[in-house]
Structure 1
Amino acid sequence: MTPPGSDRNDDLNFSDLTPGELSFAASYFDGLTSRDRPAEVQINGQTLLVRSEGLEASYPLKGVRIESPLSRLRRVLKLPGGARLETDDRRAIAALERRMGRNAGLGLVQRLESNWPVALASVVGVLAFLGLFVQYGLPALAGVGAQITPVAVMTALDAQTVRAIDGEYLSASSLNPARQNALRREFAALAAEQGGPYTFRLLFRDGGDLVGANAFALPGGTVFVTDELVKLAQNDREILGVLAHEVGHVEHRHAMRQIYQSLGLTLAFSVVAGDVTSAASVAAAVPALLLNSGYSRQAETQADDDAGRWLMKHYGTTRPLQDILKRLIEQDGPEGKSSVLDMLASHPGEGQRLAHLRAIEAQAEGKR
């Protein structure tokens, strides 16, 4: 029998081989059926010979493909025409690979895979690496991605996110339009002084029971303020203190960093590349992310630094922001329980924030 892909050579047979030629036992599959048959394989120069019951065939060695080693599985040789050989003689195959210059270096990989202590140590090492990457690497990469994201992409993300927020989390504001316009004028002056190259706009919404007294900024400069927060404030200075804090989040790109870190680097690469469609596709996830997730302590400190400096410059005190934060704490009740989506949930560490604001004021007074 001459299988497909083999070379029939009546002058070449196993009795012609000289001592020392490579040989090994294998299972032969003809590629036509699933049946295997025991076979003897020998290498003679650049020819591979297979002998089995009712079969004697030769194949050019250059046409033989040796599959890469994998743990303790049998080694596989794929023959021209679709036939294949499987063998447990790893030493013979390793010698054949050296002769043919195939799979160099993979023998070490196979030995490592077969050594369970090494394999276990590798798994532990990979898990440790992943843990360190999530704790340190991902935040660092998210920070880089946030800094290089084009402003136009963040503006597009804002527009999509506003549509996702309205009706789902917030409803139309009931504040007097004249009151809204007055606050917008004050905010425009603040943003022009503090905010950099962003398209800032101030939107008023009714927070209802779900959001309550809150303010939060989207990456491109859209800032939401709820009616409840405006009513909680005793004067415009308190509201402007909160808004200066939110402008700080925009300027330092904290929201964009939060999105990248939470939704993954795939989004980061697509957005950095200017794929606005990809940015729009995650807009539905952004509202819940920004409302439920707190910024890092470092991010809060940066935003409070900006707000504190602005308040000291214009009013000589950080008291307005301190007062409204205290009032938010008091409205949580004696048990100190806050609603899931209130300002304190979005801005954790209120005690440290108050202390930091007092320290900003004391430092400024010490320089006078």
Structure 2
Amino acid sequence: MNGKSGESLSTVEVEGIYFDGRSSRDRAARLTVQGDQVTVQTSADGVSGGTEARWPLARVSIDPPLPGVRRVLKFPDRTRFETEDDAAIRAIERRARRTRPLSDRMLGGVRQLEGSWGLTFAALGLMGAFVWGFIAFGLPAIARGAAAATPSRVLTTFDRETVDLLDKPPYLGPSKLSAARQAELQRGFRQVVGWAGGAYSYRLLLRDGEPEDDGNGSFGGFSLGANAFALPGGTVVMTDQLVALARSDRELLGVLAHESGHVTHRHGLAGVYQALGLTLLTTVVTGDLVSAGTFAAAAPAALLQRGYSRAAETQADEVAGAFMLEKYRTTRPLRDILARLENKDAKADESSVQSGNRIEDLLQSHPGTANRIEHLRALEQAAK
């Protein structure tokens, strides 16, 4: 703003750049406000000659100020004038009676905030806390809500697509258990799901968790070992290796009851939603079966590697504990099989598992085996 831009004078002049609304090329320009008229004069630039345009001040639009951004005046023919001279534009606003009583004070406050390193770091800290809180609490809550709202037909598609994938290399091979042994385990599973209830398409799949390479590259290279896991629609997979590790079918039924708890509380689905992020939640919850199939293709890694949260494992253990206490009046078989899974030792029992220190327990995102055994023991004591 030149020396004539004081509010007591009749003319305001300001230097800036001009855009013609047809291209992104800018041209040096001078804007003059005299009375109620605005004049824009552009300089010749070797491509176009100088031009002059005149508008009534009342028809000129002035964008509100933003810190660090040039002030912008827009004209009725979609051309615009930009300048770094905020003081001159504020004088024009006062001339046009567009003064914003709080705008100058607010702008000054914003600029003060921008210049304070302490406030900047504090803001970053608050943002970091918000992001952490969303990941730690918000996303799990959203995932649980989405899992509860997912239609049953989507769960069925999810299970089918996931099993189709798991039954291909390198995950699982056909079970090597005898037909009689498989039938025996299926009868036990029916007892568990009859007790668990819920409108789920329960089925038990027995598979080899350590398939050998057949020479054609059809298996091998991935060892699930002694394990059992539940898919959201009620499909439970149990490996031959887990059957071999158990000393009795009571132990296996305890494991199956635990997996039924994950099904009825939809822990697996919530865990997969959380692992794969929010982008898939909407398509699956709305019942898009094509998306559900695509979603299932990414699920095995989340199911087999992520594990469950402390709350989910504890809840499933409580379901299994209730089953064991009702059927056998003890949780000892489940405690023993958990110990053998922890130690990978067929001779281990619940006394073989040592508790970690308290700090380690607090830092773990998943409950330790010792904590789980202790909780099952407490459930038994409380039932007496």
TM-score scaled to structure 1, two decimals?
A: 0.81
Is there any run of 5+ residues in structure 1 with no aligned partner, and where?
A: 1-17, 337-344
Q: Does 2:78 align with 1:87?
A: no
Percent same amino acid among aligned pairs? 45
Say which is worse superposed, 273-282 or 50-59, in terms of deviation: 50-59
Say which is worse superposed, 186-195 or 324-333, in terms of deviation: 324-333
User: How far 1:154 sits from its partner (Å)?
Assistant: 1.8
Cα 1:110–1:86 shift into 2, 3 Å: farther
Match 2:376 to one of 335, 357, 360: 357
Kindly report which structure 2 residues correspond to 1:1-368, keeping only aligned pairs within 5 A, or say none: 20-21=9-10, 23-29=12-18, 31=20, 34=25, 36-42=27-33, 44-45=35-36, 47-51=37-41, 55-61=51-57, 64-67=60-63, 69-81=65-77, 83-94=79-90, 96=92, 99=96, 108=106, 112=110, 115-117=114-116, 118-167=119-168, 168-208=170-210, 210-331=223-344, 348-365=367-384
User: How far 1:188 sits from its partner (Å)?
Assistant: 1.8
Cα 1:256–1:109 shift into 2, 3 Å: farther
2:27, 2:42 within 8 Å by CA — same for their partners in 1? no
Rounded to whole Å, the distance in 2 between the matches of 1:172 and 1:302 is 31
| Deviation readout 1:70-110 (Å, 9 max, x if unpaired) | 43232222334454312122134345567586999887479
Given residue 337 of structure 2, which amino acid in structure 1 is its aligned partner? I
2:14, 2:88 within 8 Å by CA — same for their partners in 1? no
Aligned with 1:281: secondary structure?
A: helix
User: How far 1:265 sits from its partner (Å)?
Assistant: 2.1
1:195, 1:247 within 8 Å by CA — same for their partners in 2? no
1:292, 1:346 within 8 Å by CA — same for their partners in 2? no
Aligned length: 339
User: How far 1:329 sits from its partner (Å)?
Assistant: 2.7
Is there any run of 5+ residues in structure 2 with no aligned partner, and where?
A: 1-6, 44-49, 211-221, 354-363
Rounded to whole Å, the distance in 1 between the matches of 2:54 and 2:337 is 88
2:219 counterpart residue number? none
Given residue 185 of structure 2, which amino acid in structure 1 is its aligned partner? L
- What's the Cα RMSD here? 3.2
2:3 counterpart residue number? none
Say which is worse superposed, 196-205 or 22-31, in terms of deviation: 22-31
1:248, 1:307 within 8 Å by CA — same for their partners in 2? yes
Rounded to whole Å, the distance in 2 between the matches of 1:125 and 1:311 is 47
Cα 1:284–1:346 shift into 2, 3 Å: farther
Given residue 372 of structure 2, which amino acid in structure 1 is its aligned partner? R
Rounded to whole Å, the distance in 2 between the matches of 1:331 and 1:317 is 23
Rounded to whole Å, the distance in 1 between the matches of 2:249 and 2:365 is 22
TM-score scaled to structure 2, two decimals?
A: 0.78
Rounded to whole Å, the distance in 2 between the matches of 1:37 and 1:176 is 88
